[in-house]
């Protein structure tokens, strides 16, 4: 539509027809950057706990987020107090991911004791991979990087697992009905209207479930022998179904059947529609377990596991049913949920199983080298 059509008309008229208001967008994007900066404080705390110089890089990143985010929020302070329209919602979500990844990359760019990041492009790639839970990485030696940087790398996974825009909606109650447009623009597929009548409540319910499952997995991993740092980082990778690990050999580094089973269970849970958890928590277990989507999901994992187990036993890769179950189930769930954790040398697997295994192996291509 030509701009001349709006010449001489009141701003409210243009806004009513879906035109973008840049002040509203600047205010909300500024607040999003401030939220990302605040979330870096956990990583800085780990850095100071371990006495790492990169903790100052994280603090510097927080300061930059405060300056730029605060500046944008201030620039949009005079924005009209109205709901976000559909076009603005789409624009904020799209720009939110691009800008969010840029500011999330700052700790990687400023780090001095993390040799894996050689430039801004590498840092941006890693941050975007984390926030989108893609799981691809430019790092060849993960353990050479400082712990506070590895924590932030994993934490970007966790933030992106539920969606940074959904988090934004959950913690910003003043968005009101405008939050609905952001939520609908962020969440793929049908919007879970049945969870709560308001989008704010829906976003919060989803995050409560997400946090609750994350807490349970962290506790379970610590009981199985992980320290708090590794338990948190692997929980972030599990619940986000992204697979970032603090170890070069991923979960295989721990060589623990108990850890494998815990992560398998929570990878499976993370792949379930979270609306079903809400239904189950409300006492409707039968409805949740008989949901067609859940039944197909569970059946595919079950059938895939049986097929891989039979192939591994038949080829003599493992001599016991337990080992075939442990490694077969873990990697089938890891592949089907796109998590990308690995526990086995897939090059030793027979062709049928290797077809599936290579999907995960390519995400951790350096982990099996001698």
Three-state helix/strand/coil letters over the chain? CCHHHHCCCCHHHHHHCCCCCHHHHHHHHHHHHHHHHHHCHHHHHHHHHCCCCHHHHHHHHHHHHHHHHHHHHHHCCCCCCCCCCHHHHHHHHHHHHHHHHHHHCHHHHHCCCCCCCCCHHHHHHHHHHHHCCCCCCCCCCHHHCCHHHHHHHHHHHHHHHHCHHHHHHHHCHHHCCHHHHHHHHHCCCCCCCCCCCCHHHHHHHHHHHHHHHHHHHHHHHHHCCCCHHHHHHHHHHHHCCCCCCCCCCHHHHHCCHHHHHHHHHHHHHHCCCHHHHHHHHCCCHHHHHCCHHHHHHHHHHHHHHHHHHHHHHHCCCCCCHHHHHHHHHHHHHHHHCCCCCCCCCHHHCCHHHHHHHHHHHHHHCCCCCC
pTM for the structure as a whole: 0.83
**pLDDT tens, residue by residue, 42-63:** 999 999 999 999 999 999 999 9
- For the stretch 249-294, pLDDT in tens is 999 999 999 999 999 999 999 988 877 887 888 888 888 889 888 9
364 versus 326: which is more confidently predicted? Answer: 326
Report, as an integer, the average pLDDT of 303-322.
90
Question: Over 60: is that where the pLDDT of 370 sits?
Answer: no
Query: What gap in Å lies between CA 111 and CA 271, rounded to an integer?
Result: 33
CA distances from 218 to 8, 14, 242, 244 (A): 59, 50, 16, 15
User: 238 near 267, Cβ under 8 Å?
Assistant: yes
Distance of CA 201 to the CA centre of its chain: 21
Task: Return the residue matching tokens 């205010």.
Answer: 27
156-178 pLDDT per residue, tens: 989 888 765 555 454 454 444 44
Confidence of residue 84 (pLDDT cuts 50, 70, 90): low
Residues 126-144 have a mean pLDDT of 91
191 closest CA partner among 300, 295, 89, 44: 89
Span 206-254, pLDDT tens digits: 788 889 999 999 999 999 999 999 999 999 999 988 889 999 999 999 9
301 in Cβ contact with 312 (< 8 Å): no
Distance, CA of 302 to CA of 313 (rounded, Å)? 16
Q: Per the structure block, which two tokens stand in for 123?
A: 């840092």
Q: What is the mean pLDDT of residues 114-131?
A: 92
């Amino acid at each position: 539509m030509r701009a001349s059509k709006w010449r001489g008309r009141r701003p409210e008229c243009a806004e009513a027809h879906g035109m973008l208001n840049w002040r509203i967008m600047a205010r909300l994007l500024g607040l999003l950057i401030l939220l990302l900066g605040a979330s870096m404080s956990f990583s800085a705390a780990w850095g100071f706990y371990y006495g790492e110089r990169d903790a100052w890089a994280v603090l510097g990143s927080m300061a930059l987020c405060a300056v730029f985010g605060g500046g944008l929020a201030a620039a949009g302070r005079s924005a009209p107090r109205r709901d976000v329209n559909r076009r603005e919602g789409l624009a904020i979500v799209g720009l939110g991911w691009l800008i969010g990844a840029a500011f999330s990359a700052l700790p990687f760019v400023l780090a001095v004791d993390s040799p894996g990041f050689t430039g801004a492009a590498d840092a941006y790639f890693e941050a975007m991979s984390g926030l989108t839970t893609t799981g691809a990485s430019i790092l060849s030696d993960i353990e050479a990087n400082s712990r506070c940087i590895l924590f932030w790398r994993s934490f970007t996974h966790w933030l992106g697992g539920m969606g940074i825009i959904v988090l934004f909606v959950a913690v910003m109650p003043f968005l009101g009905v405008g939050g609905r447009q952001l939520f609908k623009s962020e969440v793929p597929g049908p919007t879970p209207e049945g969870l709560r009548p308001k989008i704010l409540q829906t976003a919060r319910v989803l995050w409560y479930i997400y946090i609750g499952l994350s807490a349970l997995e962290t506790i379970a991993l610590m009981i199985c022998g992980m320290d708090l740092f590794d338990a948190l980082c692997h929980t972030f990778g599990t619940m986000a179904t992204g697979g970032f690990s603090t170890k070069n050999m991923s979960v295989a580094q721990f060589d623990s059947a108990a850890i494998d089973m815990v992560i398998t269970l929570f990878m499976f849970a993370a792949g379930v529609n979270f609306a079903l958890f809400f239904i189950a928590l409300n006492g409707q277990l039968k409805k949740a377990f008989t949901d067609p989507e859940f039944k197909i999901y569970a059946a595919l994992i079950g059938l895939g596991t049986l097929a891989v187990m039979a192939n591994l036993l038949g080829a003599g890769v493992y001599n016991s049913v337990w080992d075939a179950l442990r490694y077969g189930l873990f990697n089938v769930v890891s592949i089907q949920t796109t998590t990308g954790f690995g526990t086995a040398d897939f090059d030793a697997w027979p062709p049928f199983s290797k077809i599936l295994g290579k999907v995960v192996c390519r995400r951790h291509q350096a982990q099996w080298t001698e």
